[in-house]
Amino acid sequence: MMGFRKGRYEVGFAETAGEIREAQRLRWLCFIGRGRPADAPEALDADDYDARCTHVLIRETGGRLVACFRMMTLSGGVEIGESYSARYYNLSRLRDFDGKMVEIGRFCIHPEVRDPDILRLAWGALARHVDEQGVAMLFGCSSFIGTDTQGYEDTFAMLRERHLAPKRWLPRVKAPQVFRFARALRLRKPDPRRAVAAMPPLLRSYLAMGGWVSDHAVVDRQLDTLHVFTGLEIGAIPPARAKLLRAAGA
């Protein structure tokens, strides 16, 4: 996938160690550094998956990095155990998935930036990659800020009611600490307005395209997040929305 420019933003790949470090720095600001001093040189979010992934960077034209995410392409479900998500979820049911898969990870937008075009450009870049590589499924972990479930009850209740993975793909529990929201909130009727307001923008995008989630959230103390496994089968995306995504990456 070639880089491209749209409006005031440029989308491209990290090609040097310095650019990957920039992405790791932004990830630290978004996931770990909330409310902490940001001047320490070790203020990076880095792991062993960085060397195995392609890093997508979105910059203001000629300047500041405003968003990033990483991609790891798998030949099919047979390789699902190599994914980052498999560290936290039992994904054995997805081993039978027949088709290329791409794991999307560490998606983040600079905390000082509020522009919906950035998320659209990210999906445009993904649409390009999906088309060029013949990808059949996108997946990853969608993160909620903090590890306290309070304030997210309506969101999780809506996920349980409308967006659980089909049983044939449903992830099972693996992480030591989880919130089994499908069980805990089985009697709660969600307030749609509050549910959507508390939902991460990336997850809203996945669900609007026909995506689905696990029936539990993992409590991630390292990144100070709650996250749900999220999958999107490319064939389930409504044609009109797929056309918009391709236009964003044109």
Q: What's the mean pLDDT in 95-108?
A: 96
What is 4-248's CATH number?
3.40.630.30
Residue 250 pLDDT level (bands cut at 50, 70, 90): low
The answer to whether 32 and 223 have CB atoms below 8 angstroms apart is: yes
pLDDT value at residue 50: 97
Q: What's the mean pLDDT in 194-215?
A: 95
Answer yes or no: is pLDDT of 113 > 70: yes
pLDDT, the chain, mean = 92
* Tokens standing for residue 147: 């590890």
131-to-170, 177, 243, 249 alpha-carbon distances in Å: 26, 37, 12, 11
- Nearest Cα neighbor of 164 from 114, 230, 208 is 230
pLDDT tens digits, one per residue of 126-167? 999 999 999 999 999 999 999 999 999 999 999 999 999 999
Q: Which residues pair with 65 in a beta bridge?
A: 59
Positions of E strands within the chain:
4-6, 9-13, 54-60, 65-74, 89-90, 100-109, 135-145, 172-173, 178-179, 212-213, 217-220, 225-233
pLDDT value at residue 6: 80
